[in-house]
């Protein structure tokens, strides 16, 4: 398989995130290796546990849609690191408040049995803003101030929906972003 074919296959995996948005849990699980991990604002752990947690979230007043760009990919034999622009459009219907968050997905992928799969997914948050589908909603400053501006609106709607954000996540040019990049590069180069 040529690198062009690999690039297309990886783009298909990254864009497979639509399975989360549409509740196709079995298809979502095919994107990951069995030992895959994922870290996003509201979840840190195994990809399989994330899928179960996403199923629970889908039954709540929280909803989301992910708009995924084309990944930039670095290869080392049967390993790859993909960085992909994404937009998370979230809604907490219980408080009539939404969020649009721009981020980048940093995926470590491996080719197993001729198929590319995600080994680890990290997210770097770039910017976020509130959406008011039914008009102005009061924002609690004590809650919003808990989160960096890059994901403040997302953090707010998640918190209001009962999801705890337990630590600071990577934002543009932050030490956390540098750590993610260093770990991904070390993983890619390790044989």
Which whole number is the average pLDDT over 32-38?
Answer: 98
Q: Provide CATH code, domain 3-181.
A: 3.10.450.50
Q: Is the pLDDT of residue 1 over 60?
A: no
Percentage of the chain modeled with pLDDT above 70: 99
pLDDT in tens, 84-96: 999 999 999 999 9
Q: Is the pLDDT of residue 170 over 90?
A: yes
pLDDT in tens, 99-157: 999 999 999 999 999 999 999 999 999 999 999 999 999 999 999 999 999 999 999 99
- Token look-up 């408040």 returns 97
- Can you give the residue ranges of every domain in the chain? 3-181
């Amino acid at each position: 398989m040529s690198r062009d074919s690999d690039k297309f296959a990886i783009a298909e995996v990254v864009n497979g995130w639509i399975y989360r948005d549409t509740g196709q849990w079995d298809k979502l699980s095919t994107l990951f290796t069995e030992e895959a991990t994922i870290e996003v604002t509201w979840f840190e752990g195994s990809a399989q546990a994330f899928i179960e947690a996403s199923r629970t979230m889908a039954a709540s007043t929280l909803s989301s849609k992910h708009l995924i760009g084309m990944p930039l990919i670095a290869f080392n034999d049967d390993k790859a690191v993909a960085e992909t622009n994404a937009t998370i459009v979230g809604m907490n219907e219980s408080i009539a408040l939404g969020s649009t968050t721009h981020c980048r997905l940093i995926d470590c992928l491996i080719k197993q049995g001729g198929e590319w799969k995600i080994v680890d997914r990290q997210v770097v948050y770039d910017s976020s803003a509130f959406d008011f589908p039914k008009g102005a909603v009061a924002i609690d400053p004590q809650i919003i101030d808990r989160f960096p501006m890059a994901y403040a609106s997302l953090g707010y709607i998640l918190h209001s929906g009962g999801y705890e954000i337990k630590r600071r996540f990577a934002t543009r040019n932050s030490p956390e972003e540098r750590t993610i990049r260093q770990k991904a590069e070390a993983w890619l180069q390790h044989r």
